[in-house]
Structure formats: structure tokens, C-alpha cells
Structure 1
Amino acid sequence: FNALLSKVPGVDMIGHNWFASGPEGLAVIMLLVVWGAVPFVVITLSAGLTQVPKELEEAARLDGAGSWGVFRYVTLPVLKPIIVMLTTLSVIWDMGVFPQVFVMRGGHPEPEFQVLNTYSYDRAFVVNDYAQGSAIALITVLLLLGVVAVYMRQMLKIGEVE
């Protein structure tokens, strides 16, 4: 990737260390996590698009809606439950990015690369402060329970509308 970027005139990225600073390193890890989630999201959205009734799209076009109007008023409302589910599941899964950070930092993530999971592990098994490590893990679980509660509330609300 560095060689490819270096072909741009005026850019010299040969030998650039993407993990030299926290923001660049976290961006690389974030891209890895997103790259891993893309297949599930794309397949799920593709399956959702097959559930959009063609009759509704045709009726919207007959009523004078353009492509944007059909998407906004027909397709998006049909996909809303799927988008809510995907967003919530992505947040829940992204709380478990331990292996990506741990492996990409050689088993010893620096403080600027810590996420809740790696920080909990670090406190419990590297520093041998099991109480603090378990407290961080418990806070993580409570945060996830909050996300799940929001998800369940949204899904129940969507179920009542239909």
C-alpha cells in the first residue's frame, strides 16, 4: 500500500509505519474491522432489497416520485428494521474487537491502541489486577446491555407499526 501511495507525485510513503501514531494505527484496525463486517452487511441488505414490493415502487413512480423519492419513501421504510438490526449488531460485535487489536499490536497494545476488551485483559493478566480487569469487563457488559435494550425497544416499536 505504501508503494502504491508513493506513486502519487510528491508523496513518499516508502517505509511509513502506520502504527507510529495512535490515530493512524486505530484507523488501520478500524478498516480491518469494517472489512470483516462488509460481507454480512452487504448480503443482509441485498436480501432486504428483495423484499421491497415492486408494486409499491411502481405506484410511487406513477405518482411522480423520482429515484430519490422511491428510495426515501418506499425502499428505506421497508429496509428500516434491517438497518436497525445491522447497526445494533455491528455495535455489539465491534465491542469484541479484541483479536484484531491484540494481534496487530503483537500481543501488547500500547495505551493509545487500547479498547475496553484489551484494557480489561491488560489490567487482569498483564498487571495481575484481577479486580480492575473484571470491573472493566463488567462495565463493558453493562454498556452492551444498554445497547441491547435500545435495540429491543426499536424492534418492538417497529413491530407495533406494522
Structure 2
Amino acid sequence: MKTLLSFLIFPLILACSGEERIAAPPDRFTDFMNKYFTGYSYQYKDTSARGNQNYGEQYGLLKIKKNDLTQGEMINIYEKLQKDGWRLVESNNKNYFHFCYGEDLSLNILFPITKNDRTPSGAPLNYDDTSFWYMSIYKSTTKIAECNQNEGDFIDFTKL
């Protein structure tokens, strides 16, 4: 009887243990981070949209501790981004910078000062933890409106 019971239970154990496990997504931005943030440790979270491709996909959220990366160091990174073809399309010149590369790639860099803030154009920004730089890279399957503007259309909201 024990042998028969063993033959019945063993396949059930194998079926449960053979269940497909979802692995952590790979860090698709290693090259980007190595180019602009060499030497800084960062946290990566894959935030890829799995829905309608007409709305694009936000690929990743990157976080670096403020203690590890100063605002002065970040200014050098902004300059390197622009030298490499990233175009600044929106900024408040203190804690929010929005860059575009081409018409379909967007990079938001946020230095939260308070837990609740707004972009210069009024979009809400909310943070659980203000001790990090937040960088969000977004790749769209269509043109991004902000990235498809003429360079002369840049609005410096701090001067209004």
C-alpha cells in the first residue's frame, strides 16, 4: 500500500516542483549606465508595459543614492548627455530634467526635494523615498510629443 501511495504522490510532487518560475528581468540599461554613471551603484526595476503597444513601453526605473551622486556631478552627466545627442526638452533647473533622444526615447531625471512635487508643466511627482535620484527611461513605439518638438519650442518654466 505504501508503494502504491508513493507512486501516486511522487508525480504530484514533481508536477509542483517543475512549475515554471519567472526569473528577474535582465538589466537592459547596463550600457547606458556604464556610459553615463560609471562607478555609481544603482538599483534597477523593470517597469515594462505589457499592454497596448500603441502607448509605448516604459522600460526601466533606475535609482542612485543622493549621498553617492552629488548635484555637481550630475551637471557633468547632463552635459555629457547633451554632447551625445540627448536634447533637454523640459526642466525647472533645480530637480527635474527631461531629455529626449530622437523622437521616441525619453529620459526623466528627478532629484526629489519633497515627497510630493510637480514637473514644470504641472504633472504630479510622488516619491516614497527622497534619498535617491530617480531616472526613468521610456521608449515609445510611436513619436513622443515632447521629443517631436522643434528645439526652439523648449519652454523654461522657471522664467515664466
Shared fold per TM-score greater than 0.5: no
* TM-score normalised by L of structure 1: 0.24
Calculate the TM-score normalised by the size of structure 2: 0.25
Greater helix content: 1
Task: Return the structure number with greater strand share.
Answer: 2
